[in-house]
Amino acid sequence: MKYLVTGGLGFIGSNFIKSISSNDSQILNIDKNTYASNDPKHSQKNLINISNVHFCLSDQVKTIKTIIDFNPDIIVNFAAESHVDRSIESPKSFIESNIISTFNLLESFRALLKKKNNNLKKMIHISTDEVYGSLKKSDPAFTENSLISPSSPYAASKSSSDLLVKAWFKTYGIPVIITNCSNNYGPFQNPEKLIPNIIYRIINNLPIEIYGDGKNVRDWIYVEDHVKAIKEVIQKGKVGETYNIGGECELSNNEIAKILIDKTSQALGLDANQIKSNLNYVTDRPGHDFRYAMDISKIRSKIGWSPKYNFEGGIDRTIDWYINYFNSDWYDKKNDFKRIGVIN
């Protein structure tokens, strides 16, 4: 099987590549290789049959040529700018990375399908629950038929890319599938994100900054569960369909902070009460969604997937990984993340 992966040096993409690397697969990863990319020397260590090329998918000519030359069986599109605060500060790059790049991928798909002896079977477009906007505490979870109502430039750019994918399926018959997933956590996530950010601050005795009152709720999924869902969708998913993926684990930011403080403190022999005194509540960000929750009935019934890890099991593995990472010789302390506030 030949996989063309975009954004495979990012958090979810690198975990996906790790899961499909084998003697029976050939992988070409296109990655812009930005601040959020992982070093392949570590994220792809001991993996086989992987090649990486570095350019931006907004370069349509290069994108089309690369995809036609490789002639993949499957395209999995992880490539995206995903940091909400960055999208508020600089939305233009999100338009380029999340909308223009998706358009170019779809056009590359069309160009390849016109070629004789093409292998391409389907493209999986990886998206987010944030396209649906915000839920109230009493609202039912998002379904695949929920209204698209993005709150941030990031969510708007992902919503736009999802709509492009749907339109290219309906107009051109491009065999595409969309997956919308809830908040991921696990190894190789950029330290700007909420969970590794808090772990880093606990280890270094720094202020732990939480937006607003900390009551915002997210549905959390361990990254290995998400990767497994994607692989199941590749095998069993119906083209033209959308599948919601979630961990069925709703926790507030306050609850996340408490769990991380208790568990990381215990792992390191630190005083949890002293660390809790480092909690600070900072001015909320504009348009901050209150709650996300995913109804995964469709993927459970149609695909047969459901999450394996509960939060306790997934977060224990995650904390252990980050303790080792932040103390490793391949953690780039000189270019440590500069942002003070929490991003999630």
> Which sequence positions are flagged as catalytic?
129-130, 154
Buried b vs exposed e over 230-243: b needs ≥16 C-beta within 10 Å?
bbbbbeebeebbbb
Give the residue ranges of DSSP H helices in 269-330.
Answer: 272-276, 297-302, 311-326
**How far apart are the C-alpha atoms of 304 and 233, rounded to whole Å?**
10
Q: Is 243 helix (H, G, I), strand (E, B) or coil?
A: strand
Please give the structure tokens belonging to residue 130: 């944030």
CA distance 248 to 262: 22
Q: Give the Cα separation of 150 and 132 in Å (integer).
A: 6
Closest CA to 160 of 227, 80, 238, 67: 80
CA distance 278 to 265: 13
Which residue type, as a one-letter code, is found at position 90? S
